[in-house]
Copies of this chain bind each other. A is one copy, B any other.
Amino acid sequence: MVTTVSVAQVGALVGDPARVAMLQALMDGRALTASELAQAAGITRQTASGHLAQLAAASLVTVSKQGRHRYHRLAGPEVARLLESLMLLASDATAQRPRTGPRDARLRLARTCYDHMAGWLGVQLADALVARNWVEIAEDGALVTEAGLDRLADLGLDAVVGGRAKLQCRPCLDWSERRPHLAGRLGAALCTHSLQRGWVRRQPGSRALDVTPAGWRAFHDLFDIRPPAAS
């Protein structure tokens, strides 16, 4: 079978811990240099260089030269979807051994998932939007309601409701919470909006997000979300 070979090749690329670590580091959607990715994966620059060459050859990442730097980023949402699928199944396999490190705790609270927010916060937001009847979530998809379009426009998320399309949102099963959070264009808009307003802040060198005091206030006022009891 012809296609089988290629599929296995892509699979082999995501079958190496170092390469996966680099891809995970790129899951926040930003572009990173080879050195940064080498550090993220815990390997030397020359090894990382070889891995990145393979990933680029398979079109999993794209590179753009700027001076003596070479910036790498995920090739597109399909790659992020692939990683999501992998993480979902990986957490399945390790579900019986609940390992919770201090680093994991921050990731579990809030993190980016390519272009949207995931973790406890992401799930809480999804629940709140469903409770307010702004969106509907089912097994096979998610939908922005008429009321939701109006209220989101009130919030200043105009870019999202440009065409008043109902299908601007997609459920994405959270690998730590095992419940859906919001992805798609609405998820991405919520994420950038929260970053712009200073509600959440990226933690350097990680996909984890810090929720600022202003963020907790906003999430409480808008969506009745309070910080979890104890972490």
Contact = CB atoms under 8 A, between A and B. Distances in A.
Copies of this protein in the assembly total 2
Contact of A8 (B3, B20, B168): B20
A202 interface: no
B8 A93 contact: no
Which residue among A24, A93, A170, A184 has the maximum number of chain B CB atoms within 10 Å of its CB?
A93
Interface string A1-12: 111111111111
Contacts of A2: 94, 99, 101, 104
Contacts of A90: 3, 6-7, 9-10
Interface stretch (A63-71, A123-131, A133-141, A223-231): A133-141
A4 B16 contact: no
A116 to B, nearest CB: 11
A147 interface: no
Interface string A138-156: 1111110000000000000
A66 to B, nearest CB: 25
A58 interface: yes
A50 to B, nearest CB: 16
Nearest to A1: B21
28 contacts: A1-B21, A4-B24, A6-B93, A6-B94, A7-B24, A8-B17, A8-B20, A9-B15, A9-B90, A9-B93, A10-B90, A11-B11, A11-B14, A12-B15, A12-B16, A78-B85, A78-B88, A78-B173, A82-B82, A82-B89, A137-B167, A139-B167, A140-B167, A140-B170, A140-B184, A141-B169, A141-B170, A143-B166
